[in-house]
Structures are given as C-alpha cells and as structure tokens.
Chains A and B, each alone.
Chain A
Amino acid sequence: GDSVTQMEGPVTLSEEAFLTINCTYTATGYPSLFWYVQYPGEGLQLLLKATKADDKGSNKGFEATYRKETTSFHLEKGSVQVSDSAVYFCALSDRYNFNKFYFGSGTKLNVKP
C-alpha cells in the first residue's frame, strides 16, 4: 500500500544553517506530495505542495522537488531561523481517491540561536 517515510529527528541546527529533511514515498496511482508544519500546541499548516513529477513546491524559503525516479520529496531551506523550530510532516494524497491521505512520522526541528 501507499506510505511515506521521513527521517527521524530531532534535528538540531544553528541559526542560518542549511536544512534538509528527507522524505521518500511508495505509491500507486497519481500521488500529490506535501510538507506540513506543526508549531507547538497547534494543528498542521500546509507548507508547500507538488502535484506531479519534477514540480517544485516552495514557500517561506522552503523548497521541495517531486522526484519520481527516486520517489523522494526532500525538504530544504538554505538558512534556517529560530522561528522555523517545529515538527515537519511529509504527506501524500491520491488525485483520484479522496480517502487516501498518508503522513510520515514527523521530524522535529530545533533551531538554536
């Protein structure tokens, strides 16, 4: 079945460091891919998305490229800030089956000043 695997955390970085959080997926059909962010005590917010192969999603300095050949959707940011400290979830949905929405286990990011 469909699934999402992302790197375990926590990831601890200093401010202005480069961030990569790995995400790979297994899917049949036509998956769309997402990164969501969760700040403490809150629900999840959509950070970025990509709906087909080679699409790049970007938002707030974060980027991820839909790589069908490696079934990956790694999240990157060139220079993290303390305010980026949160939990990041990789997810996939199926374009034609609305009941399919899968999440990775989440990666906690701690950014230190």
Chain B
Amino acid sequence: GAVVSQHPSRVICKSGTSVKIECRSLDFQATTMFWYRQFPKQSLMLMATSNEGSKATYEQGVEKDKFLINHASLTLSTLTVTSAHPEDSSFYICSARDLGGPEAFFGQGTRLTVV
C-alpha cells in the first residue's frame, strides 16, 4: 500500500515555542490531506482538511491561527503548532488520499509534549 511518512514521531518543546510537523506521501500524489488530533480515550478529532495549493478548511472550534497548515505540494503538508501550551500536548496524525482510490493512508503519528 501507499506510504505516508510523518516526522517527527516525538517532540518535546517549551511552552510558547512553535513546532512543525511534516507529513509526506512517499509514493503517490496526495491531493487531499487530513490532520487529526487523538485524545487519550482514542477518539480521532479531525482538525482540518487541505488540498494542494489552496487554504486548509478547518473544523469548527479549531483555531487556524494556532494550528497553521500548509499543503505546498502534492507530497507534503505541514502542521505548525504556534505558541504551544501544555494543553496542546497530544498525539497528532496526518492522512492522505490520492485520486487513485477511495482510502486514506496514515502517517505514524507525532506525540507532542509541551512543558
């Protein structure tokens, strides 16, 4: 199956700093990418959907100025958590779809800890 690489897998940052998470599709062109936040009791919360070359569509309640999403090319999307606070600590997961099939492929996830 198609491969999505997410980096870093773990990051610890200080409160007030910014963190960038990368999501790359390695062997297909990702026309649509999704960013999720996963809470301790496993539920996935969709944060935003992005299409290459256009602005991301954020879900209700997600601050777009805090969670900056850039889908600059068909193989790369980035999520930047700006001015991170301890409550932003979570597991963030990206996924990607291409035009070739109905499924989405997931990155390995990033465990963000803000201290």
Contact = CB atoms under 8 A, between A and B. Distances in A.
Interface of A: 32, 34, 36, 38, 41-46, 49, 51, 87, 89, 91, 93, 95, 98-99, 101, 103, 105-106, 108
Contact of A46 (B6, B49, B105): B105
Given A101-B97, A105-B42, A105-B43, A43 B32 contact: no
Given A98-B32, A99-B57, A101-B34, A44 B103 contact: no
A106 B32 CA distance: 23
B106 A98 contact: no
Contact-residue bracket for chain B: 20 to 34
A84 B108 CA distance: 18
B97 A98 contact: yes
A54 B111 CA distance: 39
B95 interface: yes
Counting chain B CB atoms within 10 Å of each CB, which of A36, A43, A45 scores highest?
Answer: A43
A4 to B, nearest CB: 11
Contact of B109 (A42, A91, A101, A105): A42
Chain B interface, DSSP helix/strand/loop, else mixed: strand
B78 to A, nearest CB: 17
Contacts of A51: 102
Contacts of B32: 98-99
Contacts of B102: 32, 49, 51, 93, 95
B74 to A, nearest CB: 13
A43 B103 contact: no
Contact of B93 (A43, A91, A108): A43
B51 interface: yes
B42 A106 contact: yes
A45 B105 CA distance: 7
B43 A106 contact: yes
Nearest to A95: B102
A99 B51 contact: yes
